[in-house]
Chains A and B, each alone.
Chain A
């Protein structure tokens, strides 16, 4: 049986290796391995809990902000800080803006080239491309002249002989199904999206000084002041600034992303039957003033949308049967509160050809919920909300399913995962505007409170306390756990979306979600693993985050 290795898996954040066996043109088995580890939680030990967000934020620069949010929430939970309403809204804006920008980058720059053949775009008729584009969207840049200019640009680039990031790719692969005109339209939007992502993230730059790695989170609230009567604080001008970019984001999602998603998906409907998984977990997020989450949390087992169970983090357990760690109690599952960290590399000495997948083979742990592997991310969130009858989600999901002419069962697939991300982007682009207007309402009331300053001094904290910070990040449920003793971090743990999705096998030999989803994937040419990349990328792996390590408690 052919053993296929993809290392590095590119167009992701971080370092991922996938090995798979292929037989009869299909994947028989697969193993996903995280191949980089930094020991972030070890670094956090002994630090001031108020600083933790800044370290934790560096878990990832792609889903930047998300670890900062989970971290301040964990510490706030531990010390009993209550964030003021302005801080809640500011965080909601930042999270929604992150979600939209992150998903746009994923769809166009990390995922699209799995479906779009750049070289085929050179053969397109710009007039027909324009007709296609106009038939699906009223986006202003739909003229034949525009597409001709893009085509000329790509042609000039290809003729220069220096293909750069587009060299040695899968152009001409039989799994590409789009006609040249659709490819040209997608290539044009790939380039436009590069500009859009840079512009719309300016919301975060305004609220958080810079992006990536905004610098505005503090335990108890936010550090960017709100005062409509000051030029050194968020004021009416800031509201106008943010609305401009929120409008830009929403227009792009409505007129480009969603039409592109539907157009591309219509050529790849067989992928509605490939790459699915059974169990889903969401923690929910975007709290309103009463604490109700805009997107709800919940757990789905065996695709049963009729029975959504409430999430309880106490049912998390991590196994290391196939991970490069050892536990003092042997091969058991540990809840993050009781987690241990002892790296124990038993893999082959580099340079190596193959991993020993019978033994330990990843720096990622196998996180399980009631001993089941769980998929997290946009699809999990959309399914949980859909199952619970969420009005906004149901409306957009049903619209997409109707336009593609498929039923809800199609969601359990690679195509469904990619569609769910687009659906969520539309919802969050709308919500971004709502949250900005909510901030304006608070300003109008002269509410300038941005942090719970009563809890800033560690002397006000209990001698010992612990907390959990949950955030449904773009890639899925993110949980930070902190134990504080005498004002210092005694234990810090992160259970990250890619820890769930890219997990290796567990103590029972159950595959992780990506490993399972890859089984059965058609492979036209095992030397050119395009089809595997489709399913892997549909999970939007983020490996620096996923390299999760649990801290030994201080004795």
Chain B
């Protein structure tokens, strides 16, 4: 049977042209593209078939899967039914055990060279990989086998990108990210703890629209999402520039939305688009809610605290030390 295009599928399921174009427009916005790209995205959806996606979970907490469940543009229902063909995803798939394994094997056989692999969680290498097995096979053997015939690999969340919390010192299981294992396929990193789902759907749509993967930085992160520091787009930047700092939880500055730098904010050292796209359909993001950024899209961010005395090494105190390195400590002192 000839596979239908994404748009054909949507129309058959009763999605109006107007709603379809709205979806294309919101996706262009996340991608940072001007409205002139909307027709191009729409055209791609009209011509392209649903990409086949295989979602793998290893040393994860399912937080990135949960993030996907919060998708709004398109919704998770649309993603699963209309936008991609999600052939394997342990957290939500109906089949279990042998039947689940069959779904995986069917997908990588039937769509050889054409499927996308999404990886959530780190991969433990120590002791022959015994710290994570599925169906009796180690995660490291599984990922090599499954990625062998993939078109590209998308690592979601800090664990799959850089090892994340399992790789925090002393890394008890020898956990690593995908790019440390898969060297012969294009790998895209979408870090964050968890992944922000908007960046996932935008990456998939970018791929469908332009037929290639997005431009990335040296850590393989798409520039459209990780090209700027949080600090550069922070809504509290004015207070930083005016040296207005929060000093304690609930103090006047905190209640008035002043800068969280002295409470340990990592915004000046973190590349992520949180301030512009926010979370949960734009409801909020950490700084907006009054908590410092902890730098969750950066490699080894969990380890930043291990090198100094406890007093200086918490999330909340560390930024001052980093600030000194960045040459902006004087600004803090003169406040």
Residues of A with Cβ closer than 8 Å to B?
5-15, 17, 35-40, 42-43, 46-48, 50-51, 54-55, 58-62, 64, 105, 109-110, 113, 118, 149, 152-153, 156-157, 160-162, 164-170, 191, 194-195, 197-198, 201-202, 205-213, 215-216, 218, 220-227, 230-233, 343, 345, 347-353, 363, 448-451, 453, 456, 458-459, 486-488, 527-529, 533, 544
Contact = CB atoms under 8 A, between A and B. Distances in A.
A533 to B, nearest CB: 6
B87 interface: yes
A35 B95 contact: no
Interface of B: 1, 3-4, 9, 12-14, 50, 52, 57-67, 69-72, 75-77, 80-81, 84-100, 102-103, 106, 122, 124, 127-138, 141, 164-166, 168-170, 172-173, 175, 193-194, 196, 248-250, 254-257, 279-281, 283-291, 294, 302, 305-306, 310-311, 313-317
Given A169-B99, A194-B69, A58 B165 contact: yes
Given A35-B134, A51-B314, A11 B257 contact: no
B255 A211 contact: no
A156 B4 CA distance: 11
B223 to A, nearest CB: 22
Given A6-B97, A169-B95, A453 B69 contact: no
Contacts of A215: 286, 289, 291, 294
Nearest to B65: A61
Contacts of B81: 153, 157, 164
Nearest to B11: A156
A8 B289 contact: no
B166 A211 contact: no
A13 B92 CA distance: 9
Given A162-B85, A165-B80, A487 B310 contact: yes
* Shortest beta-carbon contacts, A-B, top 9: A61-B63, A232-B257, A39-B172, A210-B279, A169-B94, A205-B280, A209-B289, A48-B314, A451-B249
A35 B175 contact: no
A195 B200 CA distance: 18
Nearest to A355: B136
B305 A168 contact: no
A308 B311 CA distance: 44
A12 B256 CA distance: 42
A232 B255 contact: yes
Given A11-B91, A13-B91, A456-B248, A164 B134 contact: no
A205 B282 CA distance: 9
Contacts of A55: 165, 168, 302
A11 B97 CA distance: 11
Contacts of A216: 289-291
A536 B280 CA distance: 31
A47 B305 CA distance: 7
Contacts of B133: 15, 17, 35-36, 350, 352
A39 B127 CA distance: 14
B14 A448 contact: no
A311 B250 CA distance: 35
B93 A165 contact: yes
A12 B249 contact: no
A168 B99 contact: yes
Contact of B136 (A9, A14, A226, A350): A350
B132 A35 contact: yes
Given A209-B285, A232-B255, A345-B130, 11 more contacts: A8-B135, A15-B132, A38-B175, A40-B165, A47-B313, A165-B93, A198-B69, A198-B71, A201-B70, A213-B193, A529-B96
A8 to B, nearest CB: 5
